[in-house]
Chain A
């Protein structure tokens, strides 16, 4: 099973600041990595797929990068609605796994 490790566990920032979230895979997943956002009480929402492609309707302030084992989700300028939990997910084989999540909280 491919293990995804996200860091940091919690990130405290203010609106307007830049957020950088990391996801590291225990072995290469090529670019088969996605990022999801989960707001309290809601289902997750797909933000980024195949490491760097924005899903439909996702604002341009969200961007993804990386390949192999190291991936980054960047939010260029935080809006109030961006404070949530973010999960990475790999699909390099049929055994899908998620990272443990990064909580982005307002400072």
Chain B
């Protein structure tokens, strides 16, 4: 059974940094692209970043490009999101998601989502 468990959220001041992690189990992690999507309180979904199964391609939303870095450790079945220069508007629940198809070069639909971790950026 597929499980995705995010961690690392919390409260941080504007300009600060956080590193989110997503522990994956129940599938061959190294075969699938992974993504991060966020949801501000009471708002809709916003795509954040994608990383190819072998880490060779990474894509970012314009709103986070240059500030956030997605990475993965296939030996530990773990996905990360390093968030620097955080802004108040980055406040959201961050979900990690698994691509529904393996070996993709680009983001695909997501068939499994974690339960999310809340990041609050506030002074």
A residues bordering B, Cβ < 8 Å? Answer: 1, 34, 36, 38, 42-46, 49, 55-56, 87, 89, 91, 93-101
Main secondary structure on chain A at its contact with chain B?
loop
Subset of 17 A-B contacts with CB under 8 Å: A38-B45, A42-B115, A43-B113, A43-B114, A44-B95, A46-B111, A87-B45, A91-B109, A94-B59, A95-B47, A95-B61, A96-B35, A96-B107, A97-B47, A98-B44, A99-B44, A101-B45
B residues bordering A, Cβ < 8 Å? Answer: 35, 37, 44-47, 50, 59, 61-62, 95, 100, 106-111, 113-116
Pair count A-B, CB < 8 A: 53
Within the complex, which residue of A38, A55, A93, A100 is in contact with B106, where a contact is CB–CB below 8 Å? A93
In the complex, the 10 A-B pairs of residues with the closest C-beta atoms, listed nearest first: A43-B113, A96-B47, A98-B45, A34-B109, A49-B109, A94-B106, A94-B59, A101-B44, A100-B44, A96-B107
